Amino acid sequence: MKKGIITTYVLIFGAIFLILLGGLLGFILLQLRVANQKISWQESLNIAEAGMQYWRWCLNNEATENCQLEKEYEDVSGNVIGKFQIQFDANSNCGLLISQKIISTGWTFKFPDLKRKISVLYGKESVAKYSYILNSNVWVGSDHIIRGPYHSNGGIRFDGQNLSTVSSAQKSWICTSSFGCGPEGIGYGLGLCPLECQIINKQCVCPGVFSTTKVSNRNLFTSPIPQFDFVGITADLSKIKNAANQLGGIYLPPSSQIQSNGKGWHLIFRNDGKVQAKIITGLAPTNAYSEEEGDHKDYFTITSESDYQTYDISSSCSAVFVEDNLWPEGFIKGKVIVASANLIDSGIDTDIILQSNIDYTGTGNDGLTLISERNILIGPNSPDYMTLKGIFIAQKGRFSRNHYSGNIKESLQIFGSIISAGRVETQWVQTPSGHLISGYRNRETYIDPTLIYNPSVFTPFISSQFKIVNWAEIK
């Protein structure tokens, strides 16, 4: 009887033990599986990031056509543990890649259903990162507010208000009378060397960047820094011409080839995405002065013109090339590049004249890059309150407004960037009084951050490498 009871107890407790043991083992196995899932979940993200870096390498080595869109991934021991898959959406124009968005999906072979996805935008930094990139000495007036990085390969007298860095490639430079300096003594005024500088060998020698006003933030001044390769950041005009001719853009030959008395082209951009081309047949002279030309006459004011043609700007190749002097104005829809250059006759350099506002239609994806072979000049009859939106590049010359005696305007607002080989001058003052005698009374420049990584096609880049613009994990 007792043996039967003991046997029953053994069986009962043995069953309970086995049940508990089975539950414990099941719990341990479940926890082990959960732990492995967590590891795979993290590994899937690592694999997706590996796909992201792999595609960046492909972009920067121009090897995307030979790169795999699905590739196995090895761990540090060389064991294949999963795969990543690449999907991409290219932002290109005229056959050139501007930026690219990809989705990289990673997973492990242990848990192929646990997938992680990363959305990445790759882009290269364009010249739109800077408010100004100059290749000469410059004097920024006290009225000027600049809300983006400012750089010159020459010396800078910066008397305006800077809300970002101001940098020069010069450790020191000779500040002459055209920049309000002189060697006749220390002080402020005509012929005097500012307190921030010193007279050496009868010359006023100043730091690479200096200011004589209290409105400047001197903590953001930097010099010297390496020079910008100004030749390297200029656009290849022949490629723009070829795109306009062969890839669906708009090409306009020298106006005199179409009309014997042609003196240039007048382009009016419309908010419906079209551009109206007119041949200029008459220009009136205006007495002018500039540091480069001295006293002269500007033939910038249009007195007569004839209609030529209205064009649709192609969304697949938004390049406009004008083989003549150019007067552009109006509303830009989408991303457009407009270049003016004479590549037929190497002895002729063309100019762009700004006589009216250039604005955007407001689609949220508008942008203009305006390139002149030589100068971009604001004309004498420009608006009292002028707005210019875009990236303005004067490759061999200068972005400027010449001195027109007594021609005083109120406000110049630039939303974008100025790239100028020569000195920028849009205001003329009398020294030593500082009295305004020509140009714009108030000037303000804002960078357009939307154009830094997504500019119009053929806009020069300051970096040859694609970088990660933004990164996000998606479902």
**pLDDT at res. 10:** 62
Q: What's the one-letter identity of residue 469?
A: V
CA distance 264 to 256: 8
What pTM value is reported for the model? 0.90
Tell me how far the alpha carbon of residue 33 is from its chain's centroid.
50
| Whether the Cβ atoms of residue 351 and residue 325 lie closer than 8 Å to each other | yes
For residue 231, what are the β-bridge partners? none
Question: Which region holds residue 416: left if phi is over 0, alpha if psi is between -120 and 50, else beta?
Answer: left
Q: What is the pLDDT of residue 236?
A: 86
Exposed/middle/buried for residue 8 (C-beta within 10 Å: 0-12, 13-18, 19+): exposed
pLDDT score, position 17: 65
Q: How many C-beta atoms lie closer than 10 Å to residue 41's C-beta?
A: 15
Across the chain, which has 475 residues, the per-10-residue mean pLDDT values are 62 66 61 70 92 96 93 91 95 95 95 93 96 96 94 96 96 94 90 94 96 96 91 84 96 96 97 97 97 95 97 96 98 97 94 98 95 97 98 96 96 97 92 84 95 96 92 91
Look up residue 181 and give its two tokens: 């300096």
What phi and psi values does residue 105 have, to the nearest 5 degrees?
Answer: -110, 130
Residues 6+ apart with CB under 8 A from 15: none
Distance of CA 294 to the CA centre of its chain: 33
Cβ burial of 238 (10 Å; 0-12, 13-18, 19+) is exposed
DSSP state of 392: E
Q: Per the structure block, which two tokens stand in for 89? A: 């959406």
CA distances 264 to 6, 323, 330, 398, Å, are 115, 9, 17, 19
- Give the DSSP letter string of 239-302: HHHHHHHHSS-EEE--HHHHSTT---EEEEE-TTSEEEEEEEEEEEEEEEEETTTEEEEEEEEE
CA–CA separation, 418 and 149 (whole Å): 11
Kindly give the pairing relationship between strand 156-158 and strand 209-210: parallel
Using CA atoms in the order 244, 249, 253, 259, what is the torsion angle rounded to 10 degrees? Answer: 180
- pLDDT the model gives residue 24: 60
Tokens (6 digits) for 267 = 């382009």
Counting every residue written for the chain, the total comes to 475
- Element (DSSP H or E) covering residue 117: strand 116-123
Distance CA 82, CA 412 (A): 58
User: What tokens were used for 393?
Assistant: 């590049």
Beta strand pairing status for 274-290 and 265-269? antiparallel
Give Cβ neighbours of residue 115 (< 8 Å, ≥ 6 apart).
Answer: 44, 105, 106, 107
Residue 338 structure tokens: 């407009």
- Distance (Å, whole) CA 253 – CA 321: 8
